[in-house]
Structure formats: C-alpha cells, structure tokens
Amino acid sequence: MNLQASTQLTTQKPKILVARAIFPEALAKLEESFEVRSNQEDRIFTPQELQKELAQVDGALVAGSERIDASALANAKHLKVVANISVGYNNFDVPAMTAAGVMATNTPDVLTDSTADFGFALLMATARRITESEHWIRAGHWEKWSIVNNPLGMDLHHSTIGIIGMGRIGQGIAKRALGFGMKVIYHNRSHLSDVDEKACGATYVSKEELLRTADHVVLVLPYSAQSHHTIGAKEIALMKPTATLINIARGGIVDDVALAQALKTKQIFAAGLDVFEGEPTVHPDLLALSNVVLAPHIASATEKTRRAMVDLAIENVRAALAGKKPPSLINAEVLKDAM
C-alpha cells in the first residue's frame, strides 16, 4: 500500500470527538476505527469551542460537562450521534438534538449497582458521622472520648428510608436497605409494578408523607425543569429534626442555600451530598458545616463501572455510525427519517 492510499483510507474513517479524557486503552481502540479528536488533557471546552469541535465530526462522546443544545449543534452538519458517558442526560436538549437529526445516547444499567452502593455508603457516612469522626481524630480530639461526647449518630437498622425517584438506582438502594431491616417507602412519578414493589419491599407514599415519616431521605430522581428544587425550605420543614438527606441525583434537585440554612440551624440532623448546584463550585455555607458529608460527584466512580460506561458510550457511537440502532438510544424518533 503506498502512502497516498493509506492517507486516503485514514481520511475515510468517520471522525469523532472525545470531549473528556477516557481510559488510554479505550482511546487506542477507538483510533483503530475512527479519526479521533481527543481532549485527553481534560480541559472543559467553552460553548464556542464545543460548537467548533462538533462542526468537524460525525460522532462525539461527552459527559455531563458538555451542554448539547441548538447552539452547540449550530454548525454540526455531519454529526449523527452524541453519546453521553452518563446515565443522566440533563446536559442534553433532546428535542434540539432530534430536530438536528442527532442521535442521543446514555449509559444505563452498567452503573446501577455501583451507584446504589455509593448511595448507601454516603447514607451510612452521613448518619454515622464518619467523615466528621475522622476529622475529630486528625484534630487530636480522641483524648476527649467519653460515652456521651463522641460524634453520636443516627441508626440505619430498623429505621425508615424514604426514596424519591424509584428507577433502577432507587430500587437498588431499596434492596440494600432491606438487608438492614429498614422499612422502605418511596415516591415516584408512577407506581412500581406489584412485582417490583414486592422485590424492593417498598410502599408508595405521597412526597409529603415521605418527608414527614422517613428517618433517611434519599434522592435519586432525574433532573428536569419539573424536578428543580424538589427539596427546598418548605420540604425541609416537613422533615424530622433527626432526619438525614442524601442527594446522589443532580445538583438543582435540592435548593443548596435552603439546605445549608437548615443544617446550620439543626432543622435536620445531617446531609450527604454527591451533587451540587453549580458544580464544581460548592456553596461556601455547605463547606463551612460539619453536619454534611461532601463528595465530588463520584457515585458511579469505580474502575470497573467507569470503564463499562465508556465502553457502552463507544458501542453507542459505533452502532450509530454503522447505520444501526445504538443500544441505549434516547430519542428513537430521530430514526424515523434517518434509517
């Protein structure tokens, strides 16, 4: 094969953008079949940069940090697919993507168990004040140990867990809670089937009843205009003063200012937060409080799961660019005209 032919072949490969750093092995595999524009230095693109990048490719892998809307797609004449390396896709304007003929995909299922594990870990750390206790040791306070003067926590076992958002991850948390002898109540847009309710040992209640009766409230619902500030001052006021609030869903589901105020005045016992309004910025009032456990959006972050998420996103791009239906296509209506 002469050099010209090889160059010709290279230029015939579909072009893809990898907007955030991914595992080097995954990138190397992609480079076998695609001409890849990758951002391994992981600097988040400005909206203008993202628009320019998308204009040059047939497909893209992105994460929650990339907003894909009409403006991002304005010059993306060849773009067929944008694969989110994430199950939540509130960074996608799906109608705008469909209107532009762009397939939108996400990464469901592969992260369910890791995320449910983490939700439970955050709940335990929050209720049993684990990070606060560690700081206590590091600050040299162990000398002050006494029966009544340790960081005293709240029990999980035989308490009531209230789960708002009972999709795959919510159900995973419910099943873990059963192992702790917890009573499970939930609120969701729709009731689970009888079979699923039974498998989770869960009872449907109104949001108000859940907030009033749960010892631990866990948020696992998708973010949308409708779910914005699902928990604000009014909702927190319904909660028990001994209750904990766990958010592994999305920033914006909780009004962080109202929550910080409630934690400051001990209106509720504690909170565990993996997600924040305005990430990666955390409200300074939350940073100053000891009765909140903070994590940097890591619910899905295990080695195995993050690799599986990247692999599924790649599978989605491969299928779309081969003229097939991607395994986790969000906007199936886009196929009506395209295939």
Give the residue numbers marked as catalytic.
Answer: 250, 279, 297
List strands edge to edge, sheet with 160-164.
202-204, 183-187, 160-164, 216-219, 244-247, 270-273, 292-294
- The answer to whether 243 contacts ligand 8YV (rule: CB under 6 A) is no
Q: Which stretch binds ligand 8YV (CB under 6 A): 79-87, 163-171, 233-241, 329-337?
A: 79-87
Burial of 186 (0-12, 13-18, 19+ CB in 10 A): buried
- The answer to whether 172 contacts ligand 8YV (rule: CB under 6 A) is no
The Cα 248–Cα 88 span in angstroms is 11
- The answer to whether 218 contacts ligand 8YV (rule: CB under 6 A) is no
Over the window 255 to 294, marking each residue x when it contacts ligand 8YV by CB under 6 A and - when it does not, the resulting string is ----------------------------------------
Tokens representing 325 are 């239906």
The Cα 209–Cα 133 span in angstroms is 32
Least distance to ligand 8YV, CB of residue 281, Å: 16
CB nearer to ligand 8YV: give 98 or 300: 300
Contacts of 100 (CB under 8 A, 6+ apart): 70, 73, 76, 79
CB nearer to ligand 8YV: give 101 or 167: 167
Q: Which stretch binds ligand 8YV (CB under 6 A): 31-39, 80-88, 93-101, 189-197?
A: 80-88
The Cα 75–Cα 160 span in angstroms is 51
Least distance to ligand 8YV, CB of residue 12, Å: 31
Residues in 296-315 that interact with ligand 8YV by CB under 6 A: 299-300
Q: For residues 259 and 276, is the Cβ–Cβ distance under 8 A?
A: no
Residue 197 phi, psi dihedral angles, 5° rounding: -60, -40
Least distance to ligand 8YV, CB of residue 132, Å: 25
- The answer to whether 108 contacts ligand 8YV (rule: CB under 6 A) is no
Closest CA to 275 of 246, 235, 239: 246
- Quick one: which of 39, 86, 316, 328 contacts ligand 8YV (CB under 6 A)? 86
CB nearer to ligand 8YV: give 171 or 300: 300
- Quick one: which of 57, 61, 72, 87 contacts ligand 8YV (CB under 6 A)? 87
- Quick one: which of 72, 111, 200, 214 contacts ligand 8YV (CB under 6 A)? 111
Least distance to ligand 8YV, CB of residue 35, Å: 24
Least distance to ligand 8YV, CB of residue 248, Å: 8
The Cα 339–Cα 317 span in angstroms is 15
Give the E-state strand segments of 248-312 in sequence order: 270-273, 292-294
Residues in 181-200 that interact with ligand 8YV by CB under 6 A: none
- The answer to whether 85 contacts ligand 8YV (rule: CB under 6 A) is yes
Q: How many residues bind ligand 8YV (CB under 6 A)?
A: 9
Closest CA to 102 of 84, 86, 78: 78
DSSP 45: P
Q: Label the pairing between strands 244-247 and 183-187.
A: unpaired
- The answer to whether 88 contacts ligand 8YV (rule: CB under 6 A) is yes
Least distance to ligand 8YV, CB of residue 105, Å: 12
Residue 305 Ramachandran class (φ > 0 left, ψ -120 to 50 alpha, else beta): alpha
Interface contacts to ligand 8YV, rule CB under 6 A: 63-64, 85-88, 111, 299-300
